Amino acid sequence: MQVAPSILSADFGILAQEVKAICDGGCDLVHVDVMDGHFVPNLTIGPVVVSAVAKAATKPLDIHLMVENNSFFVDLFAPLNPKYISFHIEEEKHPHRLIQKIRSLGISPAITLNPHTPPEAIEFLIEDLDMVLLMSVNPGFGGQKFIPNVLERARRLKEIIKKRNPNCLIEVDGGVNDKNIQALKDAGVDIVVAGS
């Protein structure tokens, strides 16, 4: 499994050092949570801070948009050359168009599903994705309790992926720890976001 520590858990007073530490520690990706205060009640970071993260990181960025107006935010962050940009299917009226836009910018497109959204909701988009991010908490705040139904959702998603696009990865974000990581691996999860 790959590990993508979330910079939301970093000490922002020494952000460059924190990013360097996780990269030196062997992370696979640097997970960046972008929240706009509208789609979720929290407000996090914009391109100026993420640009500083990109300069300090020696591993690829994994940008998770929790925003309204996804296309606008894709334009903001694309110049930082992340590996992935994921957006919430619950917020996007034209997901296929946005997937194509992200790929045309040389970035791997990914879709995020909230805990209540079934994997079948994106079955006909799987062929066009490089990753699906399953939320195992409600998006917007760190430190929440893991929602166990993500294990069943991951297994169902894995079946869809096997049929439609075996190269698509599954990432899980929220409450991942030493007590549930083996179950996530057994359910077919490829990448876990590490928060607290």
Tell me: the pLDDT tens digits for 64-115? 999 999 999 999 999 999 999 999 999 999 999 999 999 999 999 999 999 9
Calculate Rg over the CA atoms of the chain.
Answer: 15
Q: Which of 28, 62, 130, 173 is catalytic?
A: 173
Q: Distance between CA 142 and CA 43 in Å, rounded? A: 12
Residues 65, 91: contact at Cβ < 8 Å?
no
Indicate whether 161 pLDDT > 80. yes
The token pair at 126 is 């799987």
The token pair at 146 is 């893991």
Indicate whether 136 pLDDT > 90. yes
Mean pLDDT of 113-129: 97
Residue 74's beta-bridge partner residues?
none
- Bigger pLDDT: 139 vs 84: 84
Cβ neighbours of residue 190 under 8 Å, at least 6 residues apart?
A: 1, 2, 169, 170, 171
Residues 68, 38: contact at Cβ < 8 Å?
yes
Is position 33 annotated as part of the catalytic site? yes
The token pair at 65 is 């948009």
Residues 137, 174: contact at Cβ < 8 Å?
yes
Is position 11 annotated as part of the catalytic site? no
Q: Which residue has the tokens 């994994």?
A: 62
Q: Distance between CA 40 and CA 93 in Å, rounded? A: 17
- pLDDT at residue 196 in the model: 67
pLDDT in tens, 171-187: 999 999 999 999 999 99
Indicate whether 140 pLDDT > 90. no
Lowest mean pLDDT among 143-147, 154-158, 170-174, 191-195: 143-147
- pLDDT at residue 37 in the model: 86
Indicate whether 121 pLDDT > 80. yes
Q: Distance between CA 68 and CA 91 in Å, rounded? A: 6
19: helix, coil or strand? helix
- Upper half-sphere CA count for residue 31 (Cβ side, 13 Å): 25
For residues 71-90, one letter each, b for 16 or more C-beta atoms within 10 angstroms of the residue's C-beta and e for the rest, the string is eebbebbbebebbbbbbbbe
Mean pLDDT of 187-192: 98
**What average pLDDT is seen over the chain?**
95
Q: Which of 33, 36, 128, 130 is catalytic?
A: 33
pTM metric for this prediction = 0.96
